Amino acid sequence: MRPRALVLSGYGINCERETAHVLRLAGADPEIVHLSELLYGEKHLRDYHLLCFPGGFLDGDHLGAAQAAAHRLRHARIRTSGERFMDHLLEFIKAGKLIIGICNGFQLLVKLGLLPGLEGRYGERLVSLTYNDSGRFEDRWVSLRVNRDSPCVFTRGFKRLYFPVRHGEGKFVVRDRDVLERLISGGQIVLQYTHPETGEPTQEYPYNPNGSVMAVAGICDPTGRVFGLMPHPEAFNHPTNHPRWRRETIPPETPGLRLFKNAVEYLRETLLS
């Protein structure tokens, strides 16, 4: 059975087709759904196994990007039932399903408080993403280290990754040092920007393209089933996506494709077995 994936669209999101494509290659059955279809009750989260908040320019890519969308969803009620949309999201997580937020989708997850979800307290905002230190939009490929001790479902089996970033607000910040320490101790820091020569996390620009604290590029919740990252795995779904594909041997199963296959395999092992 192919897991059903809901790929959100609308209000400036512009990576939904690319994301749906890689999910289909990974073995899922993706459907692109406009946010208004969920809020009007025409589509229902309960009918899907994986929810993807793709990248793009959700309500603009400037200070407060995704903030308007987060405010909208926090207070939204389903037109047909009057139920809170946030309750549907929390039920989705409780049911053991998967959520991934990429770039602006990551911004949305942290501003909804679905990440980091410390101690299962979803809805509490403890981290955010703000202006890049460079003061400009960054469009480049970055080297990433994967935390092998993280519970993240999507990154199982990876040590290193190489993905593109394209954002103006990707600098990861935390409310206070205690939050950062808890993310570290819980293995919730999944990805870090690294220097390509040393392979170690770095604050050096442009290898860390935004100045994120501790070079954080992606985090997960304590269950490992809710994952947010600034780099775009869906943009590396074929060998020819790689900037040096004519000079290096790139495997047909790219890391971007493998990341989504991990999600599909997890759902088959747990919810669909």
Residues tagged active-site: 103, 232, 234
Beta bridge partners of 218: 191, 229
185-to-114, 158, 180, 193 alpha-carbon distances in Å: 19, 20, 9, 19
d(CA 191, CA 175) in angstroms, rounded, equals: 19
User: Do the beta carbons of residue 153 and residue 224 sit within 8 Å?
Assistant: yes
* 5 strand-pairing partners: 30, 50
Q: Which amino acid is at 108?
A: L
Q: Could you give the CA distance from residue 233 to residue 75 in angstroms, rounded to a whole number? A: 30
Nearest alpha-carbon partner for 219 in 179, 261, 169: 179
* 3-class DSSP state of 114: coil
129 three-state secondary structure: strand
- Point out which residues pair with 129 in neighbouring strands: 172
